[in-house]
């Protein structure tokens, strides 16, 4: 299930961003993580610049989380089952030829993975597949799958996708029709879709775990507990003989357990996965360990909702036709884990390079909160030289060289950016002493609809106001970060409660 976050900035602009899940389509019902707030301006007001994620405040929205938790874990588990099927099916021919020590690398499988993701792209409206992310032909929707633009990590992912496409399609898919290859390249240039395989599902504004080994050990510990419960739980059950599980069932469970090691590795490197979901997802994936002819079912309610048919066919093929299936799975795990680490390091370096430096943000804020002066006869109060270079006029009407003001902001104590003459703020918003009652939009609405403010983050709005004013009221309050509560407050007859997060 895709994740959704609401970004609220100090300029009263809000923006909803969607983090795609492992599948190459946007889910209609998305899991809402919460709200991210920042006291500064939005990227649009800052001319495309973005604040470092360390400066944001995250508040988790738990309303409805219990209802979507189960769906989220199922979607996530199913996406990795499908991915593993593609990986195993693509590498089977190399294993069947006897080359167990040198299986096909993860890199060579990536092209097929990306090609499959393009073909499985779904329409946002009708959920039907359409070709290469173009507008749907099955319904009237004209929307295409577009990435979130302006974010440095998305730009990095787009560059990786372009490089991977040119390299892998030319090297490993030589039989691909030229017209199809050209269409895929054009779609990437048009930014219609950005595949996730190049960066292993890394979400947009997330940073890879600092200690992946610790995360891996935690996940593997849970996996060992689950495998012990499945294997030992079947020893005392009738139908498999007094010596334990049937050899075929035992081999199937052991090989599937090694495949789960690969999935656990991918989960540990996936920065979009919340740690507290890990155990629930593992409970969904435990059905991969059970042979299709075995009646044991640790979690019967979940088994009906997962599609394991393709996985079971591939695993039966591995366990019945290969001489050493467990050795094959261990070699494949090492290949995948090694590639994941290399891509993670590239991702971390890319994030480190693209996060704006403090001086970049200072420059942007100066241009935003000051006025550029073309001609000035005065001398700069800081360097005492003529205003021959770029000159800025502050809100207090004092003029300085741009570089002089920037140098002054660098040396300011405790981040207080004040004018060197009158000590007025350079980049802070003007404070309204009257609070919300002095804001123009509130004054205009209060003339038509009775509004009562309670504290800083709650207001009661007359629910019996003119109907024509409600669309404007909803749009205005929603744009300013206010959200309407469905429950009517006590002792406030005829009024609806709005809360600002």
Spatial contact of 46 and 250, defined as CB atoms under 8 Å apart: no
What's the pLDDT score for residue 119? 40
Average pLDDT over residues 98-122: 44
What's the pLDDT score for residue 310? 72
What's the pLDDT score for residue 284? 80
What's the pLDDT score for residue 169? 39
Percentage of the residues of the chain whose pLDDT score is greater than 90: 0
Average pLDDT over residues 287-296: 71
Q: Which of 3-7, 145-149, 218-222, 448-452 has the highest mean pLDDT?
A: 3-7
pLDDT reading at 338 higher than 80: no
Least confident of 60-69, 208-217, 356-365, 471-480: 60-69
Residue 218's pLDDT band, with cuts at 50, 70 and 90, is low
Give the domain ranges of the chain.
212-354, 358-415, 435-500
pLDDT reading at 381 higher than 80: yes
Q: pLDDT per residue over 243-282, tens digit each?
A: 444 677 778 888 888 888 888 877 776 655 666 677 778 7
pLDDT reading at 429 higher than 60: no
Phi and psi for 468 in degrees, rounded to 5? -65, -20
Residue 179's pLDDT band, with cuts at 50, 70 and 90, is low
Map residue 411 onto helix, strand or coil: coil
Give the strand order in the sheet containing 371-373: 371-373, 391-393, 399-401
Average pLDDT over residues 455-481: 56
**Is pLDDT larger for residue 396 or for residue 460?**
396
Residue 290's pLDDT band, with cuts at 50, 70 and 90, is confident
Least confident of 182-186, 283-287, 339-343: 182-186
The highest-level CATH class for domain 358-415 is: alpha beta
pLDDT reading at 391 higher than 80: yes
Residue 421: exposed, middle, or buried by beta-carbon count in 10 A (0-12, 13-18, 19+)? middle
The per-type count for the chain, helices as H runs and strands as E runs, is 14, 11
What's the pLDDT score for residue 266? 74
**Is pLDDT larger for residue 311 or for residue 222?**
311
Average pLDDT over residues 301-309: 66
What's the pLDDT score for residue 273? 64
Average pLDDT over residues 434-444: 52
pLDDT reading at 189 higher than 50: no
**C-alpha dist (Å) from residue 71 to 22, 98, 274:** 14, 41, 14
Residue linked to tokens 């507290």: 276
**Is pLDDT larger for residue 483 or for residue 378?**
378
**Is pLDDT larger for residue 112 or for residue 220?**
220
Of 369, 230, 488, 142, nearest to 498 (Cα)?
Answer: 488
Pure H helices in 199-324: 212-233, 247-269, 278-285, 300-303, 309-321
pLDDT reading at 195 higher than 80: no
Q: pLDDT per residue over 87-97, tens digit each?
A: 776 666 666 55
What's the pLDDT score for residue 110? 44
Which residues are CB-contacts of 480 (< 8 A; sequence separation ≥ 6)? 12, 14, 441, 500
Which residues are CB-contacts of 251 (< 8 A; sequence separation ≥ 6)? 319, 325, 326
**DSSP state letter for 258:** H
Residue 40's pLDDT band, with cuts at 50, 70 and 90, is confident
Spatial contact of 278 and 286, defined as CB atoms under 8 Å apart: no
Least confident of 36-40, 155-159, 391-395, 397-401: 155-159
CA gyration radius, the chain: 29
What's the pLDDT score for residue 132? 40
Percentage of the residues of the chain whose pLDDT score is greater than 70: 36
pLDDT reading at 13 higher than 50: yes
What's the pLDDT score for residue 376? 80
Q: pLDDT per residue over 115-156, tens digit each?
A: 444 343 444 455 554 444 445 566 665 544 333 223 333 343
* Sequential DSSP letters for 440-451: HHHHHHHHHS-E
């Amino acid at each position: 299930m895709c994740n959704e976050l609401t970004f609220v900035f100090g300029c009263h602009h809000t923006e909803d961003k969607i983090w795609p899940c492992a599948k190459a389509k946007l889910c209609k019902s998305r899991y809402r993580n919460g709200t991210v707030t920042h006291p500064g301006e939005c990227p649009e007001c800052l001319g495309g610049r973005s604040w470092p994620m360390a400066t944001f405040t995250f508040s988790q929205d738990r309303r409805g989380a219990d209802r979507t938790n189960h769906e989220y874990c199922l979607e996530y588990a199913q996406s990795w089952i499908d991915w593993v099927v593609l990986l195993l099916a693509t590498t089977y021919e190399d294993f069947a030829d006897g080359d167990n020590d040198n299986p096909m690398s993860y890199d060579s499988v990536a092209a097929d993975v990306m090609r499959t993701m393009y073909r499985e792209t779904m329409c946002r409206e009708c959920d039907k597949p359409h070709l290469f992310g173009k507008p749907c032909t099955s319904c009237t929707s004209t929307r295409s799958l577009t990435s979130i633009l302006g974010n440095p990590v998305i730009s990095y992912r787009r560059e990786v996708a372009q490089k991977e496409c040119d390299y892998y399609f030319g090297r490993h898919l030589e039989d691909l029709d030229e017209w199809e290859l050209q269409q895929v390249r054009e779609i990437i240039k048009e930014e219609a879709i950005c595949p996730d395989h190049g960066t292993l599902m890394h979400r947009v504004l997330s940073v890879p775990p600092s200690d992946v080994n610790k995360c891996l050990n935690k996940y593997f510990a849970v996996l060992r507990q689950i495998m012990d419960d499945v294997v030992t739980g079947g020893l005392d059950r009738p139908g498999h003989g007094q010596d334990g599980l049937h050899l075929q069932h035992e081999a199937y469970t052991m090989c599937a357990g090694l495949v789960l090691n690969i999935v656990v590795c991918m989960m540990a490197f996936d920065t979009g996965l919340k740690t507290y979901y890990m155990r629930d997802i593992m409970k969904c994936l435990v059905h991969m360990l059970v042979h299709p002819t075995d009646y044991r079912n640790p979690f019967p309610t979940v088994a009906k909702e997962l599609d394991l048919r393709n996985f079971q066919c591939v695993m039966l093929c591995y366990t019945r036709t290969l001489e050493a299936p467990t050795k094959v799975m261990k070699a494949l795990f090492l290949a995948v884990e090694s590639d994941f680490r290399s891509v993670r390091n590239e991702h971390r370096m890319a994030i480190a390079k693209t996060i704006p430096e403090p001086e970049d943000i200072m420059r942007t804020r100066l241009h935003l909160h000051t006025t550029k002066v073309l001609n000035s006869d005065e001398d700069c109060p800081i360097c005492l030289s003529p205003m021959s270079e770029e000159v800025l006029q502050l809100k207090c009407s004092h003029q300085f060289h741009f570089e002089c003001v920037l140098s002054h902001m660098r040396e300011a104590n405790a981040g207080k950016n004040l004018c060197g003459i009158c000590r007025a703020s350079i980049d802070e918003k003007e404070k309204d002493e009257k609070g919300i009652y002095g804001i123009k939009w509130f004054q205009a609405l209060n003339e038509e609809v009775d509004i009562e403010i309670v504290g800083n983050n709650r207001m009661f709005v007359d629910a019996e106001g003119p109907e024509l004013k409600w669309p404007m009221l909803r749009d205005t309050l929603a744009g300013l970060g206010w959200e309407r509560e469905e429950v009517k407050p006590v002792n406030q007859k005829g009024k609806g409660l709005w809360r600002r997060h």
